[in-house]
Amino acid sequence: MQHDYKNLTATYDVLGIGSAIVDILALVEDEFLIREALDKGGMCLIDAKRANELYESLGQCTECSGGSVANSLAAIASLGGKSAFIGRVHEDALGKIFTHDMRSVGVDYTTAPAKHGKPTARCMVCVTPDAQRTMATYIGASCELNTTDIDAQKIADSSIIYVEAYLWDLPEAKDAIRQAFAEAKKAGRKIAFTLSDSWCVDRHRADFLDFIAECVDVLFANEHEICALFETDDLELALEKITPLVDVTAVTLGERGSIVLQDQQRNDIPAQNISKLIDSTGAGDLFAAGFLYGITQGWSLYESAALGNSCAAEIIQQLGARPQRPLNKLVA
């Protein structure tokens, strides 16, 4: 399979636009999800009052920067890629933590923190004994992303612009995203998109189908999300339907690895062996990181997906979605 995602003249391999979130992780029992009416495996948006109540009901927590595309960008930088991120925090302690964690691994992150309005976004990540994660997000300052944050020069200087479906839940951010796509297309840049969450796909299915057909070059999804997009339980049918719409589709299957499709060609890439599954948070984000790093280095789609699988294997053996150790050893 041939592709042209390597761009020797670009300053950044990948520029991401997404929610700027700090995760608050807690290990919980399944009964906790039932008691708190949280859909297992999903992500729901909550208001400030509910966020405080839910936090009060959690036991011991660990704080770690998060955000789907932000996780991917941090991992791309950790792999050795050149990356930039656009997303809004508030000028508060969690905002400083998020900013540190992006810049410290080498992500170019310069979106001005908000001085007024809502605090930095936080996501309560409830990890059950099966290592599945269930998320409730107070989106706070992430909502306040606007067109002034979209740096046309940075977009023109990036091989790939990567965005998350979660952004469609933030009506205020829509103009900013639309402007980013226009800039990207004007500069002839590629667009990568992750479907984020099957409930999110349910909320925005028609918009996503239009957007994918019009703009997207590389699509990321897990099997539930790609099936939700076409309202089917049949993965093969969903794969058949997506292929003509985008150049490259990468679907993650958990312990069964991943599938990459381009035209009529398909690669099935087995998952990496792991020694201990701890927390699935960030598995999809880290797959995307490895894959995007690979294709922007000119690697084959198979090699890129294999690196994605390795990155995912690394992240599910620790708590939280930011790699505690540098990932560059995986590149060799």
Q: Give the residues lining the site for a second copy (CB under 8 A).
A: 26-27, 55-56, 58-65, 74, 78, 92-94, 97, 100-101, 104-105, 275-276, 318-320, 322-326
Output the CA angle 4-80-257, nearest 5 degrees: 70
Whether residue 190 contacts residue 217, with contact meaning beta carbons closer than 8 Å, is answered with yes
Dihedral sign from CA coordinates of 65, 68, 69, 72: positive
DSSP of 140-173: GGGGG--GGG--HHHHHTEEEEEEEGGGGG-GGG
CB of 254 to a second copy, least distance (A): 23
* Closer by beta carbon to a second copy, 71 or else 158: 71
Amino acid occupying residue 3: H
Which uninterrupted H or E stretch holds 16? strand 12-17
Backbone angles phi, psi at 65, to 5 degrees: -60, 150
Pairing outcome for strands 258-262 and 248-252: antiparallel
Exposed e or buried b per residue across 230-241, where buried means at least 16 C-beta atoms within 10 angstroms of its C-beta: beeeebeebbee
CB of 324 to a second copy, least distance (A): 5
Pairing outcome for strands 265-269 and 258-262: antiparallel
Please tell me the distance from the alpha carbon of residue 326 to that of residue 332, in angstroms, as a whole number: 13
Whether residue 163 contacts residue 15, with contact meaning beta carbons closer than 8 Å, is answered with no
Please tell me the distance from the alpha carbon of residue 175 to that of residue 183, in angstroms, as a whole number: 12
